[in-house]
Chain A
Amino acid sequence: DSGVTQTPKHLITATGQRVTLRCSPRSGDLSVYWYQQSLDQGLQFLIQYYNGEERAKGNILERFSAQQFPDLHSELNLSSLELGDSALYFCASSTRTPSGANVLTFGAGSRLTVL
């Protein structure tokens, strides 16, 4: 158990629908990152939050949105789903090492299948 909790583990839905993925970071970690991993694209950075504020944005579609709440858990909302949105969605939280490296700890992922 990495300490990063993601729910649900698996989700099957239809095109056009909306889903919400949830992430709780490791205790003490203030940053949350969302990544999308599909078979042909690798790990794609979507968005980063730090203590409730958006810190960085990657190639996140306008149909997707996220937020981090005061208790530091985060939600990724995916709407108007398309077949191509089928992927593994990972959440990670980060810790700084003594040397300053930003080390990510990943959750087990949420597997989304859009039919």
Chain B
Amino acid sequence: QKEVEQDPGPLSVPEGAIVSLNCTYSNSAFQYFMWYRQYSRKGPELLMYTYSSGNKEDGRFTAQVDKSSKYISLFIRDSQPSDSATYLCASLKTSYDKVIFGPGTSLSVIP
């Protein structure tokens, strides 16, 4: 079993839709959770990070972590064509630990 799992998609939505991207993880020791966005095989860039359970909002993006169910979510409101990318969730146990990535979900936002 991989430590971090994601549905690879592809996910296709119309412009303006609310997008929900999800991950599950297996290691209950994970404390830090992140979402990275990767455009067309370029370097991933950090979108958001959270520590432990809870929600965090940044503009159109909301990250949610439920440690009891080992579930990580990213919500994108008012999705734009520029949001079309692969979204990678990532987790680590401690701040000095290696970062474990999920396989990524490919998102297309259709104008």
Contact = CB atoms under 8 A, between A and B. Distances in A.
Interface of A: 2, 4, 33, 35, 37, 41-43, 45, 48, 50, 55-56, 58, 88, 90, 92, 96-97, 99-109, 111
A102 B32 contact: yes
A109 B42 CA distance: 7
Contacts of B51: 99-101
B35 to A, nearest CB: 11
| Main SS at interface, chain A | strand
A105 B46 contact: yes
Interface residues of B, number: 25
Contacts, number: 69
Contacts of A50: 96
Interface string B38-57: 00011111100101000000
Interface of B: 32, 34, 36, 41-46, 49, 51, 88, 90, 92, 94-104
B26 to A, nearest CB: 16
A42 B103 contact: yes
5 contacts: A92-B43, A101-B34, A103-B34, A104-B46, A105-B46
A99 B101 CA distance: 20
Given A100-B51, A101-B32, A101-B49, A106 B98 contact: no
